[in-house]
Amino acid sequence: MQTLTPETPSDLVELIHKSATSQTKLRIGTHQPIQQSEVEQSRLVNISKLNQLVEHSTRDLTIIVEAGMTFQKFYEKLAQQNQWLPVNVPAPETTTIGSLIAANYAGPLQLKHGTVRDYLLGIKAIDGNGNYFKAGGKVVKNVAGYDLSRLLIGSQGTLAAITEATFHVKPLPPRKSWIVIACQTWSIAESLIEFCLNASWQPSAIELLTGKTWLEKSYLPTTDKQKTTCYLAICLTGAASEIDFILEELNPWETHSEVNSQSQIDEQYLETIETELIEFASPKPEAWIFQCHIRPKQIVYFTEVCKKYFPTGSFQAHAGNGILNIQLSEECSIDSFKTSFKKIEQELSKYYQSKINFRLLQAPHSIPMAEIRSGFQYPQAAIMHKMNRLLKERFDPNFILQTNNPIYEATAAYLNETATKA
């Protein structure tokens, strides 16, 4: 099917209007669906021409850009003024600002720097009725009207197509370093995490990495790969004097008997490691990716248990935030997951009362969507599906925006369930 490329926001308004009348489904922007095959049912809309810098008030630390600008370009514009937006996105050269908001990409840096919610000040967007609306503004404090800007964060493009966004940005820190510590045992990893979180300084990220994918990385320390249970990658940002101070604080750990090595990532790999850390959880045609949220203090143990049941898997935890991403090969069957998930839950149940949600972020292209639909339920209370459904009906009554989406897969499941009950 032909890809449409609107030149201006009004083109896009018109396009949506027409599609609403003809009930044509649209897939707008660059962010990835859960299953590539789904894309084919929709008309693709490329917003890469809506990529202008609208306003950059450098001294106000605010920037307004059109939503089709790629993150890479956005990052460069800011860097010219010694500023940045401290979030990471996968494939920055193609991922747009619109996707950043719609997908709510949140990588390693969220520990210190937060997520898109903490930077988004305003938007312009077009809902499924073709209403071109704005919300928020360009000042950091603003309580006029409902915060529709932030409502669109994580909405996966299902409510409205974003055309413009205003962000509050930060001065680029003078220095950034990544320290990688190869840990022999889970317990030393736990102690190190504890140490970093309780220190007077604030790490920007603490990543717990283990499994096949990571062992292959050339930028991680090569010594004793066999003996290494997991790596901790710690990001530090700040003034040179601050970083020096923190490095000194971390120094004594190097000689710990359960620490295999401790090293700073070489300057040339700095970007690589950050991109790979965010891309770990983003679509790959041949892998399953799951995400779990758990209380941060249980993250190491949780990772250990997960690894036990998925010995060939790879794992990445945003350790300070309690988020674990699990990457599994496409050979795994849905049934075997379910058995393993149940066992993991059982093993953890003595420490963790509530149910653990293994949320599917990505399925291999070889698995048919129908199988995925019947295999996984989305972890949410019925009432939540209802709210999402109601919002969808208001914003997009003709269901033309990004309809094949986990949010509404879940809603559909909920609706079926309530229909059966009735």
Extract the tokens encoding 405.
Answer: 């989406």
Minimal distance, residue 408 CB to other proteins, in Å? 9
The residue among 224 and 393 lying less far from other proteins, judged by its C-beta, is: 393
Minimal distance, residue 47 CB to other proteins, in Å? 20
Rounded Cα gap, residues 327 and 290, in angstroms = 7
Cα four-point dihedral sign 153, 154, 156, 160 = negative
Minimal distance, residue 128 CB to other proteins, in Å? 11
**Residue 419 CB burial class (10 angstroms; 0-12, 13-18, ≥19):** exposed
The residue among 217 and 293 lying less far from other proteins, judged by its C-beta, is: 293
DSSP-based three-state secondary structure for 412: helix
The residue among 260 and 388 lying less far from other proteins, judged by its C-beta, is: 388
Contact yes or no for 296/320 (Cβ under 8 A): yes
Minimal distance, residue 269 CB to other proteins, in Å? 25
The residue among 1 and 247 lying less far from other proteins, judged by its C-beta, is: 247
Q: 253-273 burial, b for 16+ CB within 10 Å, e for fewer?
A: beeeebbbbbeebeeeebeeb
DSSP-derived secondary structure letter, 52: -
Extract the tokens encoding 100.
Answer: 């950043």
Minimal distance, residue 78 CB to other proteins, in Å? 12
Supply the DSSP string of 207-232, one letter for each residue.
EEEEEHHHHT-TTS--TTTTT--EEE
Minimal distance, residue 295 CB to other proteins, in Å? 5
Minimal distance, residue 413 CB to other proteins, in Å? 13
DSSP-derived secondary structure letter, 96: B
The residue among 88 and 228 lying less far from other proteins, judged by its C-beta, is: 88
DSSP-based three-state secondary structure for 408: helix
The residue among 373 and 394 lying less far from other proteins, judged by its C-beta, is: 394
The residue among 93 and 143 lying less far from other proteins, judged by its C-beta, is: 143
Supply the DSSP string of 141-189, one letter for each residue.
---SS--HHHHTTT-TTSSEEEEEEEEE-EEPPSEEEEEEEEESSHHHH
The residue among 36 and 83 lying less far from other proteins, judged by its C-beta, is: 83
The residue among 46 and 202 lying less far from other proteins, judged by its C-beta, is: 202
Residue whose token pair is 């990688």: 180
Across the strands, what pairs with 127? 160
- Triad 257, 260, 261: Cα angle to 5°: 120
The residue among 25 and 386 lying less far from other proteins, judged by its C-beta, is: 386
Contact yes or no for 280/213 (Cβ under 8 A): yes
Minimal distance, residue 159 CB to other proteins, in Å? 6
**Residue 376 CB burial class (10 angstroms; 0-12, 13-18, ≥19):** buried
Minimal distance, residue 347 CB to other proteins, in Å? 20
Minimal distance, residue 251 CB to other proteins, in Å? 15
CA distances from 10 to 7, 49, 128, 131, 281 (A): 8, 12, 14, 11, 35
Rounded Cα gap, residues 110 and 107, in angstroms = 6
Minimal distance, residue 212 CB to other proteins, in Å? 26
Rounded Cα gap, residues 43 and 323, in angstroms = 34
The residue among 201 and 309 lying less far from other proteins, judged by its C-beta, is: 201
